[in-house]
Chains A and B, each alone.
Chain A
Amino acid sequence: MRQAVAIPLRAPTAPKVPFLSLDTVWFQVAGTLCNLSCNHCFISCSPTHHAHEIMTRAEVRPYLDEAAMLGVKDFYFTGGEPFLNRELLEILEDTLRIAPATVLTNATLITKARADDLARLSAGSRYSLEARVSLDGLTPETNDPIRGEGSFEAALLGLRELARAGFHPIITATQTWGDGEDGQLRQRFHGFLTDLGLGRPRLKILPLFRIGREAERTHGYAPAERLTEEHMRGFDPWNLQCSTSRMVTSRGVYVCPILIDSPGARMGATLRDTMRPFPLAHGPCHTCWATGASCRN
């Protein structure tokens, strides 16, 4: 954690992050629809949450083309649960002709056939296809209270299918534990994944973003947890993903994957519209700054 910075009494205007380069384009490809309803979800996804809708292949396509024209480096697909999108495989096929892709999934809908389809797509492209799987515990007792009844066993089945099909999934866990336990938990995760047959386990820990359903589970951001010009002095904006990426949803282009339900975060209808600075006025901006978090792999 960085040292705390004194906050002036009167709230100053938010500092702006410059837009440096369109390296990464995200797609909220399943909208905010998910077969799970995790209690720390920062965009409150559920089977019935329609804030953002599932994107069709035809909706995704123009953004892929625009991103290619702008020299994109890679693509990410998330939701919600991307495998609720019936056109996901076709969308990935379109994508992998242009650039590498990562799919963020809860793995509970990954069947043998789907894992084989993904492997075929991966083998057919010169670019990497990464699978990232969310898990929040090493047992049903620790995972399921956060992610829902039965989600642990279902995720393990999906993970095994991915491993069998030749993937080395990146496991993403949200840090619902204290900083002090971090090292030990990483080791336990590593051992657990190896035992599961994931030969080369990769683990990514994400911080909690206290918005959406997480704000109800614990608490939201205090007014003082906002960035000021002081925070940004001497800070390399490359370290904030909003300087080099954008998020596309059914409703337009947003600054980042975290803020799609936050006021002011929709920046335009096309990627080119959004290639401009953004005011870091939100609580999660403070989290990214303080933890060095990035939604990238």
Chain B
Amino acid sequence: MIAAGELTLNGSDLEGTLAFLGGPYSNHLALRAVLEDVRRRGARRIFCLGDLGGFGPNPGKVFPLLEEFGVITIAGNYDLALAARMAECGCGYTHPSDNRFAQLSYDYTNRRTTDAEREWLGKLPTAIRFRREGRRYLLCHGSPRRTNEFLWESASSDVFLSRLARDAGADQVLCTHTGIHWQRSLPDGSRFVNVGAVGRPANDGRPAVWYALLPAGGHVAELVAVSYDHDSLAREMEEERLPAEFAETIRTGWWTTCLEILPAKERSRGKF
């Protein structure tokens, strides 16, 4: 549950252009490309909604990038699991084949995470709040109530999302965890933005990755696709002997693993 570890921010720069990045999953090449895109667009603050590791190669390469670009980061389930030296990622998958691939990437990431990195991850807030143009913003990893809850577009009813926002005391919620971006304005005036993921393409047949940008003063997110040198990343994954299925996803933009958790509509849009 998200309760402890909330961070409240203030400052006039929060009214300006803001960028929100979902799970980097150790994809340091995509993360750099996204951060450079964010800088070009003049974002005043950059937020990362957690899950720094998993899926990609050499997890240590993500941390210096977050520092270099001054990214304000909250903890995802992966980060909490690594900090607590847990045996599994706590992603919340329920199917054995999803869990098998999740475990491969967690074991790899866990082996390559240093004590200093674990300590840093353990200090991350689990949610961030601020006000912007009179609206109460809440940034979280999965959902406002559970770090590892999946909020898929086709599986989340309006009335459910409204309740989550109301219970959390928020008018605008930004989250990630699923890896597929979407946003919805709800009948009660609140808004959910799932910012997608920087570390893995969106199961749409394009190798590009996605993040969310809020224009100065605005509440409607622009969901931005960024291309990067995905072939180099796929080669690095192969050198690290990560599953061939993961590299295939990076090259093709189609998810090949952890598919069982997808609801019908999201599953139908993919190739596998």
Give the contact stretch, choosing among B65-73, B111-119, B134-142, B256-264: B256-264
Tell me which residues across on chain B come within 8 A of A168, comparing CB atoms: 264, 267-268
Q: Give Cα A71 to B160, complex, Å.
A: 4
Contacts of A99 in B (CB 8 A): 157, 159-160
Q: Point out residues on B near A: beta carbons under 8 Å.
A: 94-96, 145-146, 152-157, 159-160, 162-164, 166, 259-260, 263-268, 272
Collect the chain A residues with CB atoms within 8 Å of residue B164's CB: 71
Interface of B is mostly: helix
Residues of A within 8 A of B166 (CB): 71
Partner of B157, one of A21, A127, A202: A127
Choose among B157, B260, B267 the residue that contacts A72 (Cβ–Cβ < 8 A): B157
Q: Could you tell me if A200 and B159 are in contact, using CB atoms closer than 8 angstroms?
A: no
Indicate if the CB atoms of A73 and B160 lie closer than 8 Å: yes
Closest CB in chain A relative to B145 CB, distance in Å: 8
Supplied contacts A128-B265, A204-B95, 16 more A-B pairs, CB within 8 Å: A68-B159, A71-B162, A71-B163, A71-B166, A72-B157, A73-B155, A74-B157, A99-B160, A122-B264, A127-B157, A129-B264, A130-B264, A167-B264, A168-B264, A200-B267, A294-B94
Q: For residues 278 through 297 of chain A, which have their beta carbon under 8 Å from a beta carbon of chain B?
A: 294
Secondary structure type dominating chain A contacts: loop
Asked, given contacts A23-B160, A72-B160, A122-B264, whether A127 binds B154 with beta carbons under 8 Å apart, the answer is yes
Which A residues lie at the B interface, using CB under 8 A?
A: 21, 23, 68-74, 98-100, 122, 126-130, 166-168, 186, 200, 202, 204, 238, 294
Chain B min CB distance to A172 (Å): 12
> Are B154 and A200 in touch, CB under 8 angstroms?
no
Distance to closest chain A CB from B10 (angstroms)? 31
Q: Are A202 and B260 in contact (CB under 8 A)?
A: yes
With A122-B264, A168-B267 in contact, is A200–B272 under 8 Å at CB? yes
In angstroms, how far is the closest chain A Cβ from the Cβ of B75? Answer: 18
Task: State whether B160 touches A128 (Cβ < 8 A).
Answer: no
Of B96, B166, B272, most buried by chain A (CB within 10 Å of CB) is: B96
A168 CB, min distance to chain B CBs, angstroms: 6
Write the chain B residue with the least CB distance to A183. B96
CB of B79 to closest CB in A, whole Å: 19
Q: Is the CB of B157 within 8 A of A100?
A: yes
Expressed in whole angstroms, the minimum distance between the Cβ of A41 and any Cβ of chain B is 24
Shortest distance between the CB of B1 and any CB in chain A (Å):
9
